[in-house]
Amino acid sequence: MIRLPLTALAMGLLISGCNRAPEGFDRQAGALIDTGHFGNATMNNQQVMTGEKRYVYDLSQRFAAEVLTTVNFAFNSATLDRGAVDTLREQARWIRQFPEVRFRVYGHTDKVGNASYNKSLGLRRANAVVTFLVSQGIDRSRLEAMVSFGETQPLIVTEGRERRNRRTVTEVSGFVASHPTVLDGKYAEVIYREYVNSAEAPSGLSSIQGQDLAITQ
């Protein structure tokens, strides 16, 4: 007499449970391993085994410590202002010291405007940075402006205009696979290479040094 109601109740709970799959179980098989980019799991394993992933992280930390990685933009603009140009020149000097390394430029916007437009604007900003770095002698093949986060990763959470959210961020993304140093696995030599600000003396410095030398003699 009691079993029939309990069985019916159990069946009802089972059916309702089937309609609500546990979180994560409604995805395609393998989605948690490969989040849409075929081969990422294999590539990650290879990078860990060769030490490349750790060296990429170390070099990223060094880049962020020695150079300003972010430039900002005016509202609804992808034009580089004077401050952005100065920062990117410093980035270019640093990047030129490491021809074995690849970089990515990520574009961001503030929350004003629709998401689709902001994603496009973020990508235009990233492309503007890449174009400038190329003009400074960086090989285009080492620079990527593939990802635009648009408005989704603000530094300052606000719905209004915010200059700090209108930015690009340059980051180390990996090594140039075909470079001789990388082929030999000499990642450490790249990481610990001395960074030289510039091989050229500031304008007018040579003549001043010459005058000082003449006075000394």
- Domains along the chain? 73-198 (3.30.1330.60)
Q: Is 85 helix (H, G, I), strand (E, B) or coil?
A: helix
Cβ partners under 8 Å of residue 155, min gap 6? 162, 164, 165, 167
Look at residue 10 in the predicted model and tell me its pLDDT. Answer: 53
pLDDT by residue (tens digit) across 176-214? Answer: 887 878 767 787 788 878 765 544 444 444 443 444 433
Residue 60 corresponds to which tokens in the numbers above? 């990223």
Look at residue 91 in the predicted model and tell me its pLDDT. Answer: 97
| pLDDT tier, 48 (very low <50, low <70, confident <90, very high otherwise) | very low
Look at residue 62 in the predicted model and tell me its pLDDT. Answer: 93
List, as own/partner pairs, every contact residues 154-162 make where C-beta atoms lie below 8 angstroms and the sequence separation is at least 24, other chains included: 154/108, 154/110, 154/111, 158/110, 158/111, 159/111, 159/112, 160/110, 160/111, 160/112, 161/75, 161/110, 161/112, 162/110, 162/111
Residue 97 corresponds to which tokens in the numbers above? 């010291």
CA gap 207, 103 in Å, rounded: 38
> How many CA atoms, within 13 angstroms, populate the side-chain half-sphere of residue 9?
5
CA gap 54, 58 in Å, rounded: 6
Contact 182, 100 (CB under 8 A): yes
C-alpha distance from residue 26 to each of 19, 30, 36 (Å): 11, 11, 15
pLDDT by residue (tens digit) across 62-121? Answer: 999 999 999 999 999 999 999 999 999 999 999 999 999 999 999 999 999 898 999 999
Contact 99, 176 (CB under 8 A): yes
Residue (of 80, 178, 165) closest to 127 by Cα position = 80
CA gap 92, 71 in Å, rounded: 13
Residue at 137: amino acid letter: G
Look at residue 75 in the predicted model and tell me its pLDDT. Answer: 96
pLDDT by residue (tens digit) across 1-35? Answer: 445 455 555 555 555 554 544 444 444 343 344 44
